[in-house]
Structures are given as C-alpha cells and as structure tokens.
A and B are shown apart, each in its own frame.
Chain A
Amino acid sequence: MPTFKIDGREIPFEKGETVIQAAQRAGIDIPHYCWHPGLSVAANCRMCLVEVAPPPGRPALMLNVLSYDPDTGEYVDQQKPKLQPACQQVVAEGMDIRSESSKHVSRARAAVQEFLLLNHPVDCPICDQAGECRLQDYWLEHQHEAKRMHDEPVHKPKAQIFGPTIVYDAERCIVCTRCVRFCEEVAQDPVLSVRERGNVNEIVVSPGRQLDNPYTLMTEHVCPVGALTASDFRFKARVWFLRSARSVCQGCATGCNAYLDYDPRNQTIYRHRPRENAQVNRYWMCDDGMLDYQRAHENRLSDARLGSARSHRGDSPHPETPESVPVGAALDRAAELLRSADPAKVAVLLSAQHSLEDNFALLDLAQRAFWSSNSSGAGGARRESLGSSRVFATGRPAGEGDQILRHQDKNPNSAGVAALLAPARPQNFAALSAAIDAGAITHVLALGSDIDPGNVAGDSRVASLGRLQALVTLGTWEGPLSRAAHVLLPASSWAESDGQFMNAQGMVQESEQAVQPLGQSRPAWKLAAAIGVRLGLPIPWRTLEELRGAFAGRPLAAEPASKRSLQPGAVS
C-alpha cells in the first residue's frame, strides 16, 4: 500500500482517497463540519484546511498577506502557504501533510472557528445540540478565544417549521449544506437548497414543498450544529445525561444498526440514531426507524393477565374483562392449560418481531413438551418433521418499502424465524386460522403481539383465535394476540434484553439491552423456560449463553455480523 505523511507520521492510503479519509482510517482527527463520509465533498466550511508541503525541489505556493503587528500597531507584509481542504485534497504517494504541526493551519482553524461563531446566537442553554455540537467542541480545541467583533450579529429566522419532523434555526446554521446534499444524494428528494450568499444565506425548503420525505430525520442527524432539530427530540433531554446501547432497528427487515439513547436515571429511551455499518445501513436510517424507539414505551404490556378461559369458548373473540395477576400465577395457569391439552392439537405461533433467542426458546419448549414424548427416536430431523406441521409464524403486516433502506417486511427477524425452521417453511397466520377453524388445533402457544392477516380482512382471522380452548401469549405490545389470550405473559422489548436478529440479507446482528424491563415483563425466552420448568421438562438453557449455545448448531448461527463489522465510534 502506498503511504504519505501527516505530521511526520507514515499513513497508508488507497488510490483516490482524500487526505481526510486516509487520516480518519488511521485514527487521526482532522476537524471538519461540511465533510461527511457518506456524502459528496463540498469543501465549504474550510475547517479541515491543511498545509501541503511542496514536492522536493519545488518552491512552496505562497500567498502574500498583510498581518497585524500588535506591538507596532501596523500592518506588515508577510507570506503564508496556500492551505488545502483535506476533504478535497486527493492523496498522492509521498505527500507531506502538516496538520497539527503547522502554525498556519492552527491559525486558519482558529480564524474559521471565529468566523463561524461571528453571528451565532447565545443559544447553548436552549439548544438540543449542546453537548454534541461541533461548534462547542472545536471552539475549545482550536480557538478558545473571544471573538473580536462586537457588532450586533445578523438576525435570521428562528424555529422555522421545515416539515412534520424538522425545525430549522437559521441563526445557528453554518450552511455546511450537509442536509442539502443528504436530501439530494441519499434521500433522492432534492427539497432543500441554499438561498442568498454571505452572512445572510440560509437553508430553505423548495416552494410548495415540505421536508416530508421518509428520511427527514437524517438531515437533523447530519447537521453538525443545532440548526436542524427534530420536533420529536426538541427540549426532551440533555444529551450528556444519555447513555447509548448498540441496538438493531426493529422497524423493518433491513435491520439498520442503531444507537438507542436512554437516560439511565428514569429508564427512558429518548431517541434512535444510526450506527455506522457499511454492509447494512451505511450511515443512515429512515424516519420510521428513528422514531421506532417509541415502541419501547408505547402500547406496552407490563403485567400478566388471565382471561376467563372457559366462559367464551366459541363465539366471542375477546375474553371477558381480563385481570392482572402476578407472573408466577399466570405461568402456573399457562402450564395447567398446556398440560391438559392433547399434544396433537397444540400449535406454536412464532413471531418475526422477536429475537432468535425468544423464537428458539418457544420452539424448543414446544418440541420438548408436545412433539417428542411419543416419538421413538429423538433425532433432530424427526423432531422437526413432527413439529413443523404445527409451527406457524406471523408478525406485523407488510408496509411500504423503497430502494434506499426501507424494506416492505416490517419485521426485524422474518429471516431468522425461517432459518430456525429450515428446511421446513413456516406457515402463515392464515394457515393457523384455517387449522383452528377445522378443529385441528385447540391450544396455541404464541409469541408476539401483532398478526399479519395476509390479504384477507383481519377480523375473520382474529375471530378464529376466539375458538381456541387456550391461547397462551408471550407478548410485548397490546395487539390481537394479547387481547385474545387466555393467559398473557408480559415479554420485555428488544430495548430491555439482549437479542439477535437476522435481517433480510441473512446477517445475524446483535442488539444490546438498554433499559430495565418494564413492570413485570421479562425476556420471552425466560418466560418460556419458566413454563417448561412448570411442565416438568428438563430445560437445558437457563442463561443467555446456554440458550445461544443450544441453537449454535443451526445454519443461522454464523458469527454475529454486528460484532464483526461494527467499530465503535459515532457517525461523522
């Protein structure tokens, strides 16, 4: 690999790379505002200026400047080298770059920083960006002096509504055009542009339009300052109180890598933001995904419930007023119902909304409880063939997709469920409904909350759940499955437990626990283990490691992609 030098340090680079790219790969931080690794180069902020030493034997390109001498109070002629933006300068073999070591560069950076703050309002105390703002960071690192201008700063529009999700403050804007380039290049909806020039310029939305494409929140995320703020996050939390868990977005089958930012003090999640992964989502996420964190708190089930199982057999799709009970009592009741069932008429409904761990636990439980007792050999293939006819899977209904990130399948683990059952194919909810109606299934052990009714109206499908003798649901959210349940056990959400998910590309990715489980809820696989214990089964997995070991032999259990390809570090 060819090399070049930054501040005397030898750095390898690939042909065509710019200075800033090669430096970043080597762990050298060159300050920048407008450059973003996922966007085109604009080179307009001038923060990344570096000094390029002339090739050997050639004179340096020098500029004549007037510089103020504070001692004599006069301007004197001086020369300084022509600096180059590191984001635009393509590296050549043997190039000698001076960044931290050049006094011209530090002066330039201080000057750029002073210039960018010239008209900046005194907004830090009320600005959501404070604490993760480049202007703050770079001021201390590269300028740390007061500005010399004492005039009234230029005033521009504040709190402009750009669309349903974004609010713009022109006074805070440094017009780096990252948002403009993002809309044009990634979201493919060039709805933002720059109006005017000089110190009155600002970002505007195209006339007659709103910033309302499916990727609007990314404009806020790429904004290096507090100019664009998300209506969802505005004034909700201070970022220095938040901690981040490395999670996987639950919004669709793409499985974007994300950070789940939560406040450990009140165990509340405040936002989702993309985590860099070149193979999955690069630097981006869609709006649905970024707002998907809300599901960790909304519409949640926190208590176990018992429906009156006997009173409504047949007609009513809903149990009578359910009562909240301790989880232990609900587990007892679930075991009682399942023990009394005819093993041939028990079905398992897996969920593409849940992790591999949860799904495997339920499947393994059902196999041990219902499908292996009367079989002669307990070989894996035999068990699968026994069980597969009574394994069903569902999830959230399909939605809109696009060519950028959004997948039509709105479940994070559809591929994982299919892989768990391979080579058999999971049957959909319509098949389960038909089997219930035909009387072939009387008891269902279900995971998840939502059902995908397929192309038929949902009501008739849901109605068939009411004909069950027992429906034991391990659910996270309120939904058709929880409402129809005779025994409802509260499962924790992805934000409250570690779990693996297989995305549409077939990559297994790990999502970390952020907050403590809500109320009485606990991971679904632990609930499954507890049911197994009450059924008197030898459950060999009591810890997450044991559980993962139990399905490690399956084809899906490749090395988790999230561990392999993800480096810590925020998106630039």
Chain B
Amino acid sequence: METQDLDLERSELELDAEPMFINVGPAHPAMHGTVRCQMELSGEVIERVDVQVGYLHRGFEKMCERGTWSQVYPYVDRCNYVSPMLNNVGFSLACEKMLGIEVTPRCAYYRIALGELARMSDHLTCDGAMAMELGAFTPFLWMIKGREMIWDIMEEETGARLTHSFGRVGGMASPPTDGFKETARTAVAEILAIVEESERLLFGNRIFLDRLQGIGKISAEDAISLGWTGPCLRASGVPYDVRKAHPYGRYDEFDFDVPVGSEGDCLDRFVVRIEEIKQSARIIEQALKKLPSSGPINVDDPRVVLPPKEQVYNTIEGTIRHFKVIMEGLKIPAGEVYSYTEGGNGELGFYLVSDGSGTPYRVRIRPPCFLVTSGLERVITGAMVSDVVPCFGSLNMIGGECDR
C-alpha cells in the first residue's frame, strides 16, 4: 500500500499493475457459506476467478441409500429448500415411473398447484434477494411478504413451512384442505399485486438497471454447453422448459407461456423470473379449476400406499399392509430410471437404480443449481468486482443443491 501511495505522488496516476488476489467466501454471507471465489484482480477488473463449490457435503445421495424409498423425501426437501415441494414431486414422479403407476387426477392437479406455488416462492426469494443485495431493501421485504403467504399455505396444507416431506410414492401425504382453493386464489392475487409494485419500484430505478443491464452476459451456446437449464438458460433466449418440452404430470393440459430473454444478462434473468411468477399464477388458476373437490388422493395399490389408519388398527390385512410398506419399504421393481422435472432453477433430474428391495440401490440427483453455479466463473470473468454480487444473485445458487 505504501509503495502505491508513493507512486501516486511521483507519477501520473498510474495504477499498480501487480495483480491483486481476493478471496470471497465460503464464510462470506453473500456466498451462503458454501461457495468460495478466489479472484485475481487487475484494478477492479476480475482477470481470473476460481469458483469452488463443495463446501457443503452432507452425503445426500449416500444417505438416501440407507433407508426405504419413502425415507428419501426428507432428504430431497433439503436439496432446494426454497421450493422443496418441486423436489418432492420430482422424486415421486421418478419412483412412479419405475413402478409404472399414474396418480389420481386429484393428486396430479394438487401437485401442480402446490409445485407452482413453490416455484413462485423460489423466484420471489431470488429476485427479492437480488434487489436487496443491490441496496433495494423495500422490494425484498415486499417479495418476502409474498413468499410468506405461500409458506402459510404450505403450512396449512402440509404442516411444515419449509421442509414439507409431503410427497408420497403414488400420491400425497394428505388431500387438500377444504380452504385450499380459496386461500391459494387470494394469495396468488396478492402476490401478483406485490410483484407489480416491485416492478414499478425497480424498473424505474436507474441504479438498479445500470447494475444489471449488460452485466454477466452469457450466450445461448455457452449456457447450453455449461448444462444450464431453467430461468438462467431461458434468459439467454433458449425456450427450454421441461414442462413444455417433455410434459410430465398433467402439464400438457395447461395453457402457459415460456418467457425468454434476449441478452442473457443479469436483468434478463431477473425479468424472466418475474414473468415466470405470472405464468405460475396462470397455471395455478387453471389447476385450481381442474382440481376435483373429492376423490382419492392416493392410488389404490397396496404394494405402495399406506392403508387408512382405521384399517391398520382394526384389521389384520391393514396391519400387514402397513407393516410391509413401513418396515420393509415399498418395493420398486429392479431397474433404473432417469426422471426429470422443471425445478425452481431448471431441470431437476433423478437417476434411480433399484435392486428390487425396499431400499434404493442408488439415488443420483441432477440438481440444476450445481450446473448453473459452475457457470459463475464464465459469467464474472472480465467483470468488475462489484458485479460479482448481482451475477451471483441472478444465478440463484441454492447451497443444498450444490451438495457434492
């Protein structure tokens, strides 16, 4: 430092050409405790950067191989913990694909409604936090207020705000509550109002726009080659959405658009998420219309689904059925499957191998965030130090999904 000061005095403001190394994370709050950026700076420009994920290792996949198939749900909850319902649904669909069963219509629409609510909460969190990190605290509070409404619904439906463990192979843990449709409709309307207000606050804000526009650009080719999916890929102009490209559940019956960006910069990623919140609202409205008010939520398959408690306590058949499913675990036929859904941040894939016993032989997850985060290096190389925060925020890195 001292030499620099001396230089300043002697020469004509020539900055020191020595590179400066700076380390951010993993303990830095902006790095979520799980990512580390080692940057080499020339002045304020990032010359080189090494992004290291892997500061979170829970052994997620290995843990899944210890219990029964149903006991995997609490683990998938903790992958993307901002939209755990989407993970629950994704894992259920993978198991059901192996078993060759299709859930009841009531369950299918319920899953879509809950899943889209979870997607809204995911995007609200991401966009809100992004704005906050750039100093706009009010939109963050508003959007988190919107997320809070979703989590209240989740709590009412599942009993838990965050880690629901609500999915089941062949159905859901319980049918929708009586007031589900009404509360969901009210909440969605309020959230849309919040999103609109936030848009008005942010899109007229010069500082906000300057810090996002043209920053962290990535081309469609690069994004594809990095394995990006989800909003980050769509922001680069690639209209790939698993719900449209390879419809699962009953998404083919729904009318919604896939918003895409043109520049692939941070602003596009922000706006795509805002637009997807609106599309999710459309899907939820349609799902609530289609959701039957009565009928079974679980398939009628004793190999897979638990019997009603009344039968368990009073009949030997019910007891046996409960016993087999709980103690030995539901048996998934030997084989393997890759099943993929549109998670909050892109294609959430499960590659499952079963040996026919009640315990998963192998659970391999393809978490969208892991691949998106791996592109951070590409995005911020050549950018300014101050761009790291919006770039990192716009990728929506979720620590739980980067578990390796």
Contact = CB atoms under 8 A, between A and B. Distances in A.
A364 B315 CA distance: 64
Contacts of B314: 122
B137 interface: no
A115 to B, nearest CB: 12
Contact of A117 (B303, B311, B317, B324): B317
Contact of B327 (A123, A131, A139): A131
B20 interface: no
A139 B311 contact: no
A125 B323 CA distance: 8
A124 B313 CA distance: 10
A147 B320 contact: no
B318 interface: yes
A145 B301 CA distance: 10
Given A136-B324, A140-B302, A240-B327, A147 B317 contact: yes
Nearest to A146: B317
A139 B313 CA distance: 17
B318 A146 contact: yes
A386 interface: no
Given A140-B302, A144-B321, A122 B313 contact: yes
Given A144-B302, A240-B328, A117 B319 contact: no
A215 B313 CA distance: 36
Contacts of A121: 316
Q: Is the interface of A mostly helix, strand, loop or mixed?
A: loop
A240 to B, nearest CB: 5
Contact of B319 (A122, A131, A144, A145): A122
A535 interface: no
A135 interface: yes
A548 interface: no
A122 B321 contact: no
Contacts of B302: 140, 144-145
Interface in B320-336: 320-321, 323-324, 327-328
A146 B302 CA distance: 10
Contact of A120 (B313, B316, B321, B328): B316
Interface in B290-321: 302-303, 311, 313-321
Given A131-B327, A140-B302, A240-B327, A145 B317 contact: yes
Nearest to A137: B324
A136 B323 CA distance: 8
A130 interface: yes
A139 B324 CA distance: 10
B315 A140 contact: no
Interface in A425-470: none
Contacts of B318: 146
Nearest to A172: B316
B232 to A, nearest CB: 45
B317 A124 contact: no
Contacts of A117: 316-317, 320
Q: Which of A120, A136, A145 has the most CB of B within 10 A?
A: A136
Contacts of B321: 139-140, 144
A135 B320 contact: yes
Interface string A196-235: 0000000000000000000000000000000000000000
Given A140-B302, A140-B303, A144-B303, A122 B324 contact: no
A125 B313 CA distance: 10
Contacts of B303: 140, 144
A124 B320 contact: yes
B319 A146 contact: no
A240 B316 CA distance: 19
Interface residues on chain B, size class: 10 to 19
A146 B320 contact: no
A192 to B, nearest CB: 25
Interface string B129-148: 00000000000000000000
Nearest to B331: A140
Given A131-B327, A144-B303, A240-B328, A136 B320 contact: yes
A135 B319 CA distance: 11
Contacts of A124: 316, 319-320, 323
Contacts of B319: 122-125
Given A144-B302, A144-B303, A240-B328, A130 B315 contact: no
A121 B323 CA distance: 14
A145 B315 CA distance: 11
Contacts of A130: 323, 327
A463 to B, nearest CB: 56
Contacts of B320: 117, 124, 135-136, 139-140
A571 to B, nearest CB: 20
A323 to B, nearest CB: 43
Given A140-B302, A140-B303, A240-B328, A146 B323 contact: no
A128 to B, nearest CB: 13
Interface string A129-161: 011000110011001111100000000000000
A355 to B, nearest CB: 33
Nearest to B329: A240
A130 B323 CA distance: 8
A259 to B, nearest CB: 19
B69 to A, nearest CB: 15
A122 B327 contact: no
Contacts of B317: 117, 139, 143, 145-147
B306 to A, nearest CB: 13
A127 to B, nearest CB: 10
Interface in B254-306: 302-303
Nearest to B323: A124
Contacts of A135: 320
Interface in A29-43: none
A390 B125 CA distance: 83
Contacts of A145: 302, 317
Nearest to B317: A146
A122 B318 CA distance: 9
Nearest to A239: B327
Contacts of A125: 319, 323
Contacts of A147: 315, 317
A125 B312 CA distance: 11
A122 B315 contact: yes
Interface in A97-138: 117, 120-125, 130-131, 135-136
A240 B323 CA distance: 11
A136 B314 CA distance: 16
Contacts of A123: 316, 319
Contacts of A140: 302-303, 320-321, 324
A161 B303 CA distance: 36
Interface in A161-208: none
Contacts of B315: 122, 146-147
B277 to A, nearest CB: 44
A146 B311 contact: yes
A140 B321 CA distance: 7
A80 B317 CA distance: 27
Nearest to B314: A122
Contacts of A136: 320, 323-324
Interface in B177-234: none
Contacts of B328: 131, 240
18 contacts: A120-B316, A121-B316, A122-B314, A124-B316, A125-B319, A130-B327, A131-B323, A131-B328, A139-B317, A139-B320, A140-B302, A140-B324, A144-B302, A145-B302, A146-B318, A147-B315, A240-B327, A240-B328
Which 6 A/B pairs are nearest by Cβ-Cβ distance? A144-B302, A120-B316, A124-B319, A136-B320, A146-B317, A139-B320
Given A131-B327, A147-B315, 18 more contacts: A117-B316, A122-B314, A122-B319, A123-B316, A124-B320, A125-B323, A130-B327, A136-B323, A139-B317, A140-B302, A140-B303, A140-B320, A140-B324, A143-B317, A144-B302, A145-B302, A146-B317, A240-B328
Interface of A: 117, 120-125, 130-131, 135-136, 139-140, 143-147, 240
Interface of B: 302-303, 311, 313-321, 323-324, 327-328
